[in-house]
Amino acid sequence: MGWSQRDGRTESGVRTEPEPVFVELDEDGRRSLLRTETLLVLALSLGASGVSALISFIGSLTKPGGLKDQAATLNGSYAPGRPWLDLAWQLFGIASALVPVLLVAHLLTREGAPGLRVLGFDRTRPWWDLGRGALVAAGIGSAGLAFYLGARATGFNLTVVPEALPDVWWKFPVLILSALQNAVVEEIIVLAYLLRRLGQLGWSPVAALLASSALRGSYHLYQGIGGFIGNMVMGVVFVLAYRRWGRVGPLVVAHALLDIVAFGGYALLAGKVGWLPTP
């Protein structure tokens, strides 16, 4: 059975779809493809969040009153007074935010790499990842809190409200899931995937470090200048750790622990201790 060159019909006269044609790319074509891929992944995920955060920050700057008199809520209710509907929206938001990570895993597999395993996100060294992640979280957590309190006191940051969920049974499970989602999305895309792609595109290690760190700071800009600077510094530390260990797993653990403590700690302590700012 052969193909007609004219209309794509078989010799029997039955029309079928032609076989896909895969074109071999030269080096410039391969880089162009990777560049486009990277931009699309970022546009569907944290690159878009960076633009959104910039618009939000401009709105805060142009609003009457200082930044510290305004609040940035991280985990709020989607359906106040309707807990089951609220839970459905919370779970939908967490699940849909993970889709770009699945896209990255698919793209890496098509590249010939073993999915996210090539980035060091697997279960081969769980205790190693957990131990180093906990050490990173302990070091960054205390310094980060002090930096936030100082930035807010000097008027460079909004009052960050890590959670404003209703007091229902699913509050803390959702906060933990939200922390895990943040950690997986940010560290897979902004740290491991972006560094891999920028390296393949010929960026220098310093330029890639600055790009990854600046992007991390950009999508926290809605918190204020303090949020931008603090997260950019955190990005530098994470890039250096990732390059040293060759695994993103410990940084996912560290980020998850930082957010779990921030979300849960605020839920337990807000309004009960004087040093924790509230709106």
Render pLDDT for 46-85 as a digit per residue (tens, 0 to 9): 999 999 999 999 999 999 988 989 999 999 999 999 999 9
d(CA 223, CA 53): 8
Q: What is the pLDDT of residue 26?
A: 72
Render pLDDT for 21-48 as a digit per residue (tens, 0 to 9): 556 777 778 899 999 999 999 999 999 9
- Contact, 190 vs 46, CB < 8 A? yes
Confidence of residue 169 (pLDDT cuts 50, 70, 90): very high
Q: Is the pLDDT of residue 6 over 50?
A: no
Return the CA Rg of the chain.
22
Structure-block tokens of residue 256: 């998850």
Mean pLDDT of 217-239: 97
Arithmetic mean of pLDDT over the chain: 92
- What phi and psi, each to the nearest 5 degrees, are found at residue 105? -60, -40
Q: Could you report how far apart the first and last alpha carbons of the chain are, in Å?
A: 74
d(CA 130, CA 107): 27
Confidence of residue 3 (pLDDT cuts 50, 70, 90): very low
Render pLDDT for 190-215 as a digit per residue (tens, 0 to 9): 999 999 999 999 999 999 999 999 99
Q: What is the pLDDT of residue 238?
A: 98
Q: Which of 28, 29, 7, 33 is nearest to 18 (CA)?
A: 7
The answer to whether the Cα torsion of 87, 90, 94, 97 is positive or negative is positive
For the whole model, what pTM was predicted? 0.90
What angle in degrees, to the nearest 10, is found between the helix axes of 225-245 and 205-218?
Answer: 140
Render pLDDT for 103-153 as a digit per residue (tens, 0 to 9): 999 999 998 889 999 999 999 999 999 999 999 999 999 999 999 999 999
- Contact, 248 vs 192, CB < 8 A? yes
Q: What is the pLDDT of residue 1?
A: 36
